[in-house]
Chains A and B, each alone.
Chain A
Amino acid sequence: MSDSVADEPVRLTSLGTIAGWLGRFEPADPDADAVQAVEELLPTGSDTWPYLRRFTALTALSASIAAFGLLADSGAVVIGAMLVAPLMTPIIGVSAATVTADNRRLLRAVLIIALGTVVAIVVGWFVSFVAAGRVIDVRSLPTEIRSRTFPGLLDLGIAITAGAAAGYIQPRRSAISALPGVGIAVALVPPLATVGITLELGLGADSRNALLLYLTNLAAIVFAAALVLLASGFRPHDNEGRRSLWVRLAITLVAVMLVAIPLTLHTRSVILDLRLRTAVTAAVENWDPDIEILDQEADVADGRAEVELLVVGRGDPRPVYQLAEDIGARFGGPVNLRVRYQSNELFVVSTR
């Protein structure tokens, strides 16, 4: 490097600027109370077995409430199940163990989560086995179940912000009353109960999607909570741990990105469906303003619009090919259209 260059002020790339800023940003160590609050997340020594018994019982009860609530299509009951669920604790434990590079605690937390996951799925399956055949029709699943079988990017956003809230609240005992809100925001047990229910009903694709929602919540909470704990001053205690910190965070980030791929595809599909429904509504209005749509099914599959309409109108309808062409032009792709047309006729009869 020549002198003339060395005399110039150092110019950082934007990445270098961020790294330099992060290097200067060194939050104060958390106080003892905060450290204790985080360490209490996971049991040690003789507390382990009583904790596991309590954890298993609460998970089973929560999954059972959730499963019945899902089958009954009751949002209130499902929220109740979220408040009983103990899964958030070991998940924040994973985040804490990640940023403090405590491998023993990390392994313990992961095993507890695995236990909770299996228990919740099994309980969901069992409740469905006992009750579902009598109360639901697999062709029209309850809304509470259906809403958990097609996660999108919005769900990822919810999980990331809720995970950040959990990471912020956990070390601050004064804010701990807000934690149930986090549990409600990112439901962990209801998706698992949905996995069990849909497995029992033989709905493999729905089951995989509900599991994807759960994994989304899991990965996003761990990642976001870890970042917030890091910002709160939690650090590995030794140098070796500090060196591996970024690798650990990168692994959680990769997990988030992996779940983001199918979520992005789902979201794209939702946007396409929305665009199609808008096109159908506008095209029907254009086709015949006096027609009323009684029922509409519009999905995009392999880039092709599949539309089924039940409409009511007066007299003979205008040619349906015109409607199909208009939908195709607005949607911008091939269309399969089925229209069932009902003639709206009023009959008035009096007898004396």
Chain B
Amino acid sequence: MRGVRRGGRFLLVALVGIAATACAGDAEPVDESTVTVFGPYVGADADRFADVIADFERSTGIDVAYTGSVDFVSDLRQRAVGNQRPDVAMVPQPGVVDSLVENEVLQPLEIDTVRAVGEAFGNTALETTSWNLRFAVPYRSNVKSLVWYRPGVFSDNGWEVPQTLDELNSLVDDMGAGGTMAPWCFSVFAGSSTGWPATDWIEDLVLRRAGVDVYEQWAQGEFSWQSPEIHDAFQEFHELVVDDERSAGGLRAVLQTEVSSAGDPLFADMPGCAMYRQASFAEDWFPDGTTIGPDADVDYFVLPSEAADESGIVTAGDAAVAFADRPNVNRFMAFMASADGGRAWADDGGFISRRTDVDVDDYYNDVDGGVAALLQTETTTRFDASDMLPADVGSGLLWSQITDWLNGSLTLDDLLASLDEALGIDD
């Protein structure tokens, strides 16, 4: 990140929603004071979350004020150590929650809320979730390992969806580089979070090449970054996506294009890229009116594994944590733990959950339903490793160092060594 700031200019995006005072009909106000919520949702996502808040306000008469920022992690870190804590935060990284718990700034959930989460998510999901469930209410989930492509462009060029990683490598070779259509759309620029999309790519490759056991140890900060498995994943990512201008616009676009605009070339009349590996939430960044499906504007496939019969997906998600112990805050946390807490967003689209008490047919459209079904049926799902690492490393050092590695100011060996050092891992 420091490397980017040296450029002298960066973009910060924030949204603040001042929730209208709710007239709750015959509902009795529990507490007059407003619940302040801080999260990473901005723009359309903030509007959808505001609909969730409106449901809560209508049913309880409690006012909620939401602020969202793309600099959420660094802002929250600052707010947590200073005396500007929100009542509730929607956190996308289990590692950040763990850090907050260690710093003793979070309030434990009420026992009824913990129980409600257990009943809603079931044992299988809980085994794979990475949240500290004494403090966090898992909320929204997403699938990271998706590759978006345009079926029409694939058929026009005689390309087929790859079934294995080797087929993917061959396909990328076929697509060539330096022409008008690069194999990939990819960028890492996201303000103070610059670098995170590269970590997703590497996590997918570690899960596929090194297997679940190595991935889990690695995500727990117990497997050396300098090991051949992790080193090779970084190397393969660079060769597959970055080398030889395999991403639209070359290295310059990789470093300078905002993450939310990275996929734009895919949708151009003369497509600038053939594939865009990005999480299910990328749907929000597509041009208005984009249709999704096998015969539509764009479709997706799960990034293939080594063998056609193997599979695996990296997931991520957000959880609600509370900094304050007041009745209205506890009421909000209980609401977030209920199926009602996601209903308004699911109705708006772009919300999926691992809850077992929501049927996949109840989601906004086939895409949301399809991704939710993936979460429920896929046996090898693992949470985003960088989000699970201690926040200073997984949501800080790793992002900045991976950006420095991409822009050529840091070697891969130095990057891996510094991560081992930060995590206290002996090579």
Q: With contacts A319-B75, A324-B67, A325-B67 known, is A332 near B18, CB below 8 A?
A: yes
Q: Does A183 contact B (CB under 8 A)?
A: no
Contact across chains for B14 and A324 when beta carbons are under 8 A apart = yes
Q: Does A8 contact B (CB under 8 A)?
A: no
Q: How far is the CA of A328 from the CA of B67 in the complex (A)?
A: 10
Binary interface profile of A, 332-352, with partner B (CB < 8 Å = 1, else 0)? 111111111111010000000
Q: How far is the CA of A338 from the CA of B69 in the complex (A)?
A: 10
Contact across chains for A329 and B12 when beta carbons are under 8 A apart = no
Q: Does B228 contact A (CB under 8 A)?
A: no
Q: Does A321 contact B (CB under 8 A)?
A: yes
Which of chain A's residues 302-333 have a Cβ closer than 8 Å to chain B? 316-317, 319-321, 323-325, 327-329, 332-333
Contact across chains for B16 and A328 when beta carbons are under 8 A apart = yes
Q: How far is the CA of A95 from the CA of B19 in the complex (A)?
A: 51
Chain B, Cβ-Cβ closest to A316: B5
Q: With contacts A319-B71, A336-B43 known, is A324 near B18, CB below 8 A?
A: no
CB-CB under 8 A from B5, the residues of chain A are: 316, 343
Q: With contacts A333-B18, A334-B18, A337-B14 known, is A320 near B9, CB below 8 A?
A: no
Q: How far is the CA of A315 from the CA of B393 in the complex (A)?
A: 24
CB-CB under 8 A from A335, the residues of chain B are: 15-18
CB-CB under 8 A from B13, the residues of chain A are: 320, 337-339
Q: B424 to chain A: closest CB distance in Å?
A: 29
Q: How far is the CA of A39 from the CA of B16 in the complex (A)?
A: 63
Q: How far is the CA of A345 from the CA of B6 in the complex (A)?
A: 11
Binary interface profile of B, 1-36, with partner A (CB < 8 Å = 1, else 0)? 000010011111111111000000000000000000
Q: Does B109 contact A (CB under 8 A)?
A: no
Contact across chains for A324 and B9 when beta carbons are under 8 A apart = no
Q: How far is the CA of A323 from the CA of B67 in the complex (A)?
A: 11
Q: B334 to chain A: closest CB distance in Å?
A: 25
CB-CB under 8 A from A343, the residues of chain B are: 5, 8-9
Q: B415 to chain A: closest CB distance in Å?
A: 24
Chain A, Cβ-Cβ closest to B36: A325
CB-CB under 8 A from B148, the residues of chain A are: none
Q: How far is the CA of A350 from the CA of B12 in the complex (A)?
A: 35
CB-CB under 8 A from A328, the residues of chain B are: 16-18
From A320, A327, A342, A345, contact of B69 by CB (8 A) = A320
Q: With contacts A316-B5, A341-B12 known, is A321 near B17, CB below 8 A?
A: no
Q: Does B38 contact A (CB under 8 A)?
A: yes
Which of chain B's residues 353-401 have a Cβ closer than 8 Å to chain A? none
Q: How far is the CA of A316 from the CA of B78 in the complex (A)?
A: 13
Q: How far is the CA of A335 from the CA of B71 in the complex (A)?
A: 16
Contact across chains for B14 and A334 when beta carbons are under 8 A apart = no
CB-CB under 8 A from B205, the residues of chain A are: none
Q: A343 to chain B: closest CB distance in Å?
A: 4
Q: How far is the CA of A316 from the CA of B13 in the complex (A)?
A: 15
Binary interface profile of B, 42-63, with partner A (CB < 8 Å = 1, else 0)? 1100100010000000000000
Contact across chains for B15 and A336 when beta carbons are under 8 A apart = yes
Q: B23 to chain A: closest CB distance in Å?
A: 17
Contact across chains for A321 and B67 when beta carbons are under 8 A apart = yes
Contact across chains for A319 and B78 when beta carbons are under 8 A apart = yes
Size of chain B's interface in residues, with CB distance under 8 A?
24
Chain A, Cβ-Cβ closest to B42: A336
Q: How far is the CA of A336 from the CA of B42 in the complex (A)?
A: 8
Contact across chains for B75 and A340 when beta carbons are under 8 A apart = no
CB-CB under 8 A from B17, the residues of chain A are: 328, 334-335
Chain B, Cβ-Cβ closest to A342: B9
Contact across chains for A321 and B11 when beta carbons are under 8 A apart = no
Contact across chains for B16 and A341 when beta carbons are under 8 A apart = no
Q: B109 to chain A: closest CB distance in Å?
A: 25
Q: How far is the CA of A321 from the CA of B72 in the complex (A)?
A: 9
CB-CB under 8 A from B75, the residues of chain A are: 319, 321
Contact across chains for A324 and B11 when beta carbons are under 8 A apart = no
Q: With contacts A325-B67, A334-B50, A336-B43 known, is A320 near B12, CB below 8 A?
A: yes
Q: How far is the CA of A320 from the CA of B75 in the complex (A)?
A: 9
Binary interface profile of B, 72-116, with partner A (CB < 8 Å = 1, else 0)? 001100110000000000000000000000000000000000000
From A317, A321, A340, contact of B38 by CB (8 A) = A321
CB-CB under 8 A from A334, the residues of chain B are: 15-18, 50
Contact across chains for A342 and B8 when beta carbons are under 8 A apart = yes
Chain B, Cβ-Cβ closest to A332: B18
Chain A, Cβ-Cβ closest to B50: A334
Q: With contacts A334-B50, A335-B16 known, is A345 near B8, CB below 8 A?
A: yes
Q: How far is the CA of A340 from the CA of B50 in the complex (A)?
A: 25
Q: B315 to chain A: closest CB distance in Å?
A: 27
Contact across chains for B8 and A317 when beta carbons are under 8 A apart = no
Q: How far is the CA of A333 from the CA of B18 in the complex (A)?
A: 6
Q: A72 to chain B: closest CB distance in Å?
A: 35
CB-CB under 8 A from B15, the residues of chain A are: 324, 334-337
Chain B, Cβ-Cβ closest to A325: B16
Contact across chains for A340 and B11 when beta carbons are under 8 A apart = yes
CB-CB under 8 A from A324, the residues of chain B are: 14-16, 67, 69
Q: B2 to chain A: closest CB distance in Å?
A: 11
Contact across chains for A321 and B14 when beta carbons are under 8 A apart = yes
Contact across chains for A341 and B38 when beta carbons are under 8 A apart = no
From A316, A325, A338, contact of B11 by CB (8 A) = A338
Chain A, Cβ-Cβ closest to B19: A334
Contact across chains for A341 and B43 when beta carbons are under 8 A apart = no
Contact across chains for B16 and A317 when beta carbons are under 8 A apart = no
Interface core residue of B18, B67, B74 (most chain A CB under 10 Å)? B18
Q: A283 to chain B: closest CB distance in Å?
A: 11
Contact across chains for B18 and A323 when beta carbons are under 8 A apart = no
Q: How far is the CA of A341 from the CA of B11 in the complex (A)?
A: 7
Q: How far is the CA of A340 from the CA of B191 in the complex (A)?
A: 10
From A327, A338, A340, A342, contact of B16 by CB (8 A) = A327
Q: How far is the CA of A321 from the CA of B12 in the complex (A)?
A: 9
Chain A, Cβ-Cβ closest to B70: A320
Chain A, Cβ-Cβ closest to B82: A319
Contact across chains for B9 and A339 when beta carbons are under 8 A apart = no
Q: How far is the CA of A332 from the CA of B17 in the complex (A)?
A: 10
Q: How far is the CA of A340 from the CA of B10 in the complex (A)?
A: 6
Q: B90 to chain A: closest CB distance in Å?
A: 13
Contact across chains for A341 and B18 when beta carbons are under 8 A apart = no
CB-CB under 8 A from B42, the residues of chain A are: 336
CB-CB under 8 A from A317, the residues of chain B are: 12
Q: How far is the CA of A197 from the CA of B97 in the complex (A)?
A: 58
CB-CB under 8 A from A337, the residues of chain B are: 13-16
Q: A138 to chain B: closest CB distance in Å?
A: 20
| 10 tightest A-B CB contacts, nearest first | A324-B16, A328-B16, A324-B14, A343-B8, A320-B12, A321-B69, A334-B17, A320-B14, A328-B18, A335-B16
Q: Chain B residues in contact with chain A, CB under 8 A? A: 5, 8-18, 38, 42-43, 46, 50, 67, 69, 71, 74-75, 78-79
| Given A324-B15, A338-B11, A342-B9, 4 more pairs with CB closer than 8 A | A319-B75, A319-B78, A324-B67, A327-B16
Q: Would you mind naming 16 contact pairs between A and B with Cβ atoms under 8 Å apart? A: A317-B12, A320-B14, A321-B14, A321-B75, A327-B16, A333-B18, A335-B16, A336-B43, A337-B14, A339-B12, A339-B14, A340-B9, A341-B9, A341-B11, A341-B12, A342-B8
